[in-house]
Structure 1
Amino acid sequence: LAEAIGAHGAHLPQRLAETAPAVRAAHPAWRVTAAAHDAAAARAAELAGVEALVVSPVFPSNSPSAGTPLGVEGLAVIAASVALPVYALGGVNAKTADALVGAGVYGLAGIEGFGA
């Protein structure tokens, strides 16, 4: 899909993070990121060569695919386990964002929370 629309990168689900080298080989100029839901997956994605991680879910989320929330502490452990920019996703909104200060994240990601 990313190639079909002329995108400049792709975000891979955790289960496909290991394909990052193939994506990079096919599209050397692309930015490639991946999802991670635990520290082991974050480290594996880093070893696969992704440029950044979207870690989720941090807080309870309305997303049907959201699992058990990691919490701020869980997010901080994951962020500390890699040398990549980490974006927090899952239940992130105006009410929860302040709790992420000091958790080692590079930024925030959201689906519906930024209007809350």
Structure 2
Amino acid sequence: MPLRHPQSRFLPPRWLLSDQRNDTVLERALERLPEGGGFIYRHYHLPPQQRLARFRQLAAIARRRGHWVVLADSALTAREWGADGIYGAPRSLYPTRDLLTLATAHDMAEVAQANRMHADAVLISPVFATQSHPGADVLGPMRFRRLAAHAAMPVIALGGMTPASARRLQWPRWAAIDGLSGDTDS
């Protein structure tokens, strides 16, 4: 199946996600992210005007480093804010030709939804234990690979990912909140 967005074949191997927990270190984390990485801006905790202002601050840093900037919001908002793409659950995304579409999936049904909507990539999670959802069930490497095998697009591993867990998983693309926000290599 051909990739819908012409640039999706060049997806970065590392993706930093924003969160209330890592907000104070995002500038530094974006600077440390290897050039040409990906940045997914969520910041659901902020009111609309503050969310936009923070997006503009972080997007400027990301763009200077050659990072893709993806917004967890609608395609309309992503265009208005100047994002390169949209991110979210497949049932809430409406892909367009001008924006990269990154879907999230936690099970086979969501991977199938991402396939049907022709997402450019899917973030499958949680691979390992994560601070975002303490005590939640994790996929582990085997279940992650089973889900990834059913994806008709590139797969990005998410959940408890650090450089060390990425080596353990032996997966080319991965995303993190904490794992790319600090000095961790464990």
Structure 2 length-normalised TM: 0.52
Q: Could you say which residue in structure 1 is the equivalent of 2:91? A: 18
Structure 2 stretches of 5 or more lacking a match? Answer: 1-76
Tell me the CA shift for residue 9 of structure 1: 1.0
Q: Could you say which residue in structure 1 is the equivalent of 2:175? A: 109
Q: 2:111 aligns with which of 42, 65, 68?
A: 42
Q: Map Cα deviations across residues 43-75 of structure 1 (whole Å, 9 max, x no partner).
A: 111111111000111000001488311100111
Q: How does 1:1-116 map to 2 (within 5 A)?
A: 1-12=77-88, 14=89, 17-20=90-93, 22-24=94-96, 28-64=97-133, 67-101=136-170, 105-114=171-180, 115-116=183-184
Structure 1 stretches of 5 or more lacking a match? Answer: none
Q: Distance in 2 between matches of 1:34 and 1:111?
A: 17
SS in 2 for 1:4: helix
Instruction: Give the conservation status (yes or no) of the 8 Å contact 2:115–2:153.
Output: yes
SS in 1 for 2:102: strand
Q: Distance in 2 between matches of 1:48 and 1:56?
A: 19
How many pairs are equivalent? 106
SS in 2 for 1:34: strand
Match of 1:39, as an amino acid? M
Please identify runs of 4+ aligned residues in structure 1 that moved more than 6 A: none
Tell me the CA shift for residue 95 of structure 1: 2.5
Tell me the CA shift for residue 94 of structure 1: 2.4
Tell me the CA shift for residue 3 of structure 1: 2.6
Q: Distance in 2 between matches of 1:106 and 1:52?
A: 13
Q: Distance in 2 between matches of 1:11 and 1:66?
A: 24
